Every structure is written in structure tokens, then in C-alpha cells.
Amino acid sequence: MIAIIDYDAGNIKSVEKALLSLGQDVVITGDREEILKADKVILPGVGAFGDAMANLKRTGLNQVIREVAAKGTPFLGICLGLQLLFERSEEAPGVEGLGVLKGEILRIPEKEGLKIPHMGWNSLHLEHGGRLFEGIPEQSYVYFVHSYYLKAKDESIVKASTEYSTHIHASVESGNVFACQFHPEKSSDVGLKILKNFVELT
């Protein structure tokens, strides 16, 4: 069973639909026990870093996520869900992130001819060994919607990157913790393959 964490940060139904299309047993939940007993856990999210962290703290889900990560359950953060796993974001100065991984979230620099937020398809440069990207060709296109991007402290965890005004760490893997800045559930066949790779992790 795959638990999708419900913390009032949107985008849950499209993730659920994609997983159901892969034949998965899925539950959308904010219940601690249900999340902790799940075989895999997904933290989706769209919206603002500060509001999302406030919701996670109010419900106690911040601690639940840390427990899931610590006990070795495969965990996937998507979009804002990636950003929340890190220590801080320029979007919400003074607000602590979950700190499961080391790094910071920065605003995409303004550059002539490029719109922010970054909305649309960008190709990925894949690093060797990313388990989410098995069977995914180099320079595959995925769908992004974001104004802020990850700069991971340890670049060895970065398994995919892209270029949009700057160099963006687009996906990370550290032990049982995975995360994507892009939306695999909105990235057509490539995205479904990425989700399939996640759900088939042992």
C-alpha cells in the first residue's frame, strides 16, 4: 500500500490517479499510523513553503515524515514535497524545513526572455545510478511548475538536473529518500515510468 500524505497542499488527486493507473493500492491520508505502516510514502505539494511547513507542524506530520525517512520506508517528495525535505527556502526566510536532507531552496534568477514561474517541459541530464531513472533516456522531457529550485549541499545525491536561468537540481536520491522538483504524474509516459520505478523499489 502506498500512502499519499494529505496536508492541504494540493495536487494529490493527479498523483493518486497516476498510481491507480499503475495498478497500485493507494490511500490519501494524514493519519500517523496509516502512514507509518505503508509500504511506500509520497509527499506531493504545490504552493508556498511557509504555509506547507505550518500545516505539517500543526498536524504533527513533520515528525511522521522524519520517522518514515529514518525507518527506511521508500519515500518520494514531489515539487514542493522535494523542497520541504531540505533545510530552508528563500521563499520563507526564518522557516525551518524538514531537514531530512541538506541544502537550500533558492529563487530562480530573473533572466531576460525567461518567465518565472518556470512552467513547462524541460529536458533532464541524468547522473549515473539514479534508481528512479532506470530505463529513462538521457534528455527526456518532464513537466515543471516552480519559482524556486534546489541547491543540494551534497551533489552526490543529485540524480537529475536541468537548466532554466540557472543550474537546477531536479531530482535527488539518498538511501530510501527520493524527490523530484518536476511533476512525474504530469510528465506523460516518462513520468509514469519514473513512478513505476519508485513503486517497484524493494
Structural domains of the chain, with CATH: 2-199 (3.40.50.880)
Please compute the mean of the pLDDT values over residues 80-108 and round it to a whole number. Answer: 98
According to the model, what pLDDT value does residue 129 have?
85
According to the model, what pLDDT value does residue 128 have?
81
Residues with a catalytic annotation lie at 79, 183, 185
Distance of CA 133 to the CA centre of its chain: 14
Residue 8 has pLDDT above 90, yes or no: no
Please compute the mean of the pLDDT values over residues 177-202 and round it to a whole number. Answer: 97
How far does the chain reach from its first CA to its final CA, in angstroms?
A: 13
Q: pTM above the 0.85 mark? A: yes
* Cβ-based burial of 29 (10 A; exposed 0-12, middle 13-18, buried ≥19): middle
Residue 10 has pLDDT above 80, yes or no: no
With contact defined as beta carbons under 8 Å apart, do 195 and 171 qualify?
A: no
Question: Comparing C-alpha atoms, which of 190, 143, 159 is closest to residue 11?
Answer: 143
